[in-house]
A and B are shown apart, each in its own frame.
Chain A
Amino acid sequence: MDIFLQQLINGIVLGSIYSLVALGYTLVYGIMGLINFAHGDIVMVGAMVAFTVIHLLSGSGLPMFLIAGIGILAAILVCMAVGYLIEKVAYRPLRGAPRLAPLITAIGVSMLLQNLAMMIWGRGYLSFPALLPAISIPVAGAGISAVQILIVCASAAMMSGLSFLVKKTKLGNAMRATAQNREVATLMGVNANAIISITFIIGSALAAVAGVMVSAYYGVAHYDMGFILGLKAFTAAVLGGIGNIEGAMLGGLLLGIIESMGAGYLGAITGGVMGSNY
């Protein structure tokens, strides 16, 4: 087996998940200069909600792809609502406060989400059902599975959609204007609060999908899975220059590949320091 190629494939898969999460950090930072440390936990909420919905429907006789689709949709909707509420309840009252205040609040929200999830879903690892058959396509000495293909394609599609939205639409123009000068954007008729809400909602939708992906990939979900994942994605966002959308995408990919290569070649030495935490 070709270790290099295999780890490259694994790294790209992992990296596309990081990219999706990193985009949430970067979008919010770009608009309001806030590092939303609760973002990783929204990823967890997405995974948990999908887990519950898929679990509930699994005896219904519906085909698996439909069950998975409903699960993902539910995760997206719940995460959008959670993201919207977090901004409205936790961050909006702190507009204009010193920067430390919303940062501390973000950490508080993160802890709140984790503890709520622990109460609802318990402390144990939930075994996430396989959404796709475990087939693997051989590629020049390495293998690529159906889930991996789906993850990479879905991430690429979502990122292209986001790029189009931000770069080519009126809403995107207003988002970028608000990020650069909120006062002047307001004078042009932009409701900055609405733009900020939309930004949280978009970021949370991406996080929901990332949550389902990561759980489907590793086959587990856990109430604090968002913490490390969030930190990694945040690192990816910083690597790409926080606030920069393409940067977050590239940073995520790069981090995924580095991590995967580290796990492939240095696993025995680092003992998991550089490898995935799962």
Chain B
Amino acid sequence: MNLLEISDLHVSYDGIKAVKGIDLSLASGEIVALIGANGAGKTTTLKAICGIVRARSGKILFEGEDIGVLPPHGLASRGIALVPEGRGLFGRSSVEENLEMGAYSRSDTEIAHDLEKIYTLFPRLKERRKQAAGTLSGGEQQMASLGRALMSRPRLLFLDEPSMGLAPIMVQKIFETIRSLEGMTILLVEQNAKIALSMSQRGYVMESGKITLAGASGALLENPLVRAAYLG
């Protein structure tokens, strides 16, 4: 059974169709890339899966459970986390408070331990733990947002354009971290098709609300259509 199984997902904003019937699946432990141009509907797809956008139809199964009918605050405790587009940090709260919010749905005793793990992964965040998150640099904010998502101990992680607006060296650092998250199932949304396809096993290409291509990432990297449109 796939960890996540989406079939015939439609989403619209005030009657305007943004996602027009897509099928998408993730097997446990897979990293899957979702690439596409601006406005293709990638963010909308993630928001619909997470229940933030409610105007939708189709089936969204997580471990066989229909999560489309759950209230959106019920997903975190099931092991689903999102690093939102633009990071979505709580800018006036401190870095540490942001990380603690990531563990909001947990009630176990290992939260403090996981916080230290995040600080080991990103020592920069530890230095700035008391600083307001909104005052971090773009790269630090991306680390904080990723760290916050990891604090929920997700089994399924959505990343919405983690490379956006970052210097190449920071992009590298973020993707190294993502690659090191062994065993986690990840759906990686990216404009940067090259890096997304090079670190994923499979990929989907989205165009104006539809999946137009899908397959092994290696094959997509070689595909002339993909090369022309996204790797030019």
Given contacts A189-B76, A191-B71, A191-B73, contact A183 B104 (CB under 8 A): no
Within 8 A of B (CB), among A158-198: 170, 173-174, 176-177, 180-181, 183-192
Interface flags, B62-85, vs A, CB<8A=1, else 0: 000000000111111100011010
Task: State the Cβ distance, B212 to closest chain A Cβ, in Å.
Answer: 28
Task: Please determine whether A189 and B104 come into contact, CB atoms closer than 8 angstroms.
Answer: yes
Task: Please determine whether B101 and A181 come into contact, CB atoms closer than 8 angstroms.
Answer: no
| Most chain A beta-carbon neighbours within 10 Å: one of B75, B90, B92 | B90
Q: 5 nearest interchain CB pairs? A: A189-B105, A189-B76, A184-B88, A180-B90, A188-B104
Within 8 A of A (CB), among B84-125: 84, 88, 90-93, 97, 100-102, 104-105
Task: State the Cβ distance, B103 to closest chain A Cβ, in Å.
Answer: 8
**How many B residues touch the partner, as a band?**
20 to 34
Task: Please determine whether A188 and B97 come into contact, CB atoms closer than 8 angstroms.
Answer: no
Residues of A near B100 (CB, < 8 A) are: 170, 173
Given contacts A174-B104, A177-B101, contact A184 B90 (CB under 8 A): yes
Task: Please determine whether B90 and A192 come into contact, CB atoms closer than 8 angstroms.
Answer: no
Task: Please determine whether B72 and A177 come into contact, CB atoms closer than 8 angstroms.
Answer: no
Chain A residues with a Cβ closer than 8 Å to the other chain, count: 17
Q: Which of B52, B71, B92, B102 contacts A188 (CB 8 A)?
A: B102
Docked complex Cα distance between A192 and B72 (Å): 10
Task: Please determine whether A173 and B93 come into contact, CB atoms closer than 8 angstroms.
Answer: yes
Task: Please determine whether B88 and A177 come into contact, CB atoms closer than 8 angstroms.
Answer: no
Instruction: Say whether B143 faces chain A, with CB atoms less than 8 Å apart.
Output: no
29 CB < 8 A contacts A-B: A170-B100, A170-B104, A173-B93, A176-B92, A176-B97, A177-B90, A177-B97, A180-B91, A181-B88, A181-B90, A184-B88, A184-B90, A186-B72, A186-B73, A187-B50, A187-B73, A187-B81, A187-B84, A188-B76, A188-B102, A188-B104, A188-B105, A189-B73, A189-B74, A189-B76, A189-B77, A189-B104, A190-B104, A192-B73
Docked complex Cα distance between A190 and B101 (Å): 9
Q: Which residue of B lies closest to A178 (CB)?
A: B90
Residues of A near B142 (CB, < 8 A) are: none
Task: Please determine whether B93 and A187 come into contact, CB atoms closer than 8 angstroms.
Answer: no
Task: Please determine whether A183 and B52 come into contact, CB atoms closer than 8 angstroms.
Answer: yes
Within 8 A of A (CB), among B39-75: 50, 52, 71-75
Residues of B near A187 (CB, < 8 A) are: 50, 52, 72-73, 75-76, 81-82, 84
Instruction: Say whether B152 faces chain A, with CB atoms less than 8 Å apart.
Output: yes
Given contacts A184-B84, A186-B73, A187-B82, contact A173 B101 (CB under 8 A): yes
Residues of A near B101 (CB, < 8 A) are: 173-174, 177, 185, 188, 190
| Most chain B beta-carbon neighbours within 10 Å: one of A184, A185, A191, A192 | A184
Task: State the Cβ distance, A51 to closest chain B Cβ, in Å.
Answer: 41
Task: State the Cβ distance, A21 to closest chain B Cβ, in Å.
Answer: 24
Task: Please determine whether A190 and B73 come into contact, CB atoms closer than 8 angstroms.
Answer: yes
Residues of B near A177 (CB, < 8 A) are: 90, 93, 97, 101
Residues of B near A192 (CB, < 8 A) are: 73
Q: Which of A174, A176, A186, A190 contacts B52 (CB 8 A)?
A: A186
Q: Which residue of B lies closest to A195 (CB)?
A: B73
Within 8 A of B (CB), among A221-260: none
Seed contacts A177-B97, A189-B76, A189-B104; 16 additional CB < 8 Å A-B pairs: A170-B104, A173-B93, A173-B100, A174-B104, A176-B92, A180-B90, A180-B91, A183-B84, A183-B88, A185-B90, A187-B52, A187-B75, A187-B76, A187-B81, A187-B84, A188-B152
| Most chain B beta-carbon neighbours within 10 Å: one of A177, A183, A188 | A188
Docked complex Cα distance between A190 and B73 (Å): 6
Task: State the Cβ distance, B38 to closest chain A Cβ, in Å.
Answer: 21
Task: State the Cβ distance, B82 to closest chain A Cβ, in Å.
Answer: 5
Docked complex Cα distance between A191 and B127 (Å): 31
Residues of A near B93 (CB, < 8 A) are: 173, 176-177, 180
Q: Which residue of A lies closest to B47 (CB)?
A: A183
Q: Which residue of B lies closest to A192 (CB)?
A: B73
Q: Which residue of B lies closest to A180 (CB)?
A: B90
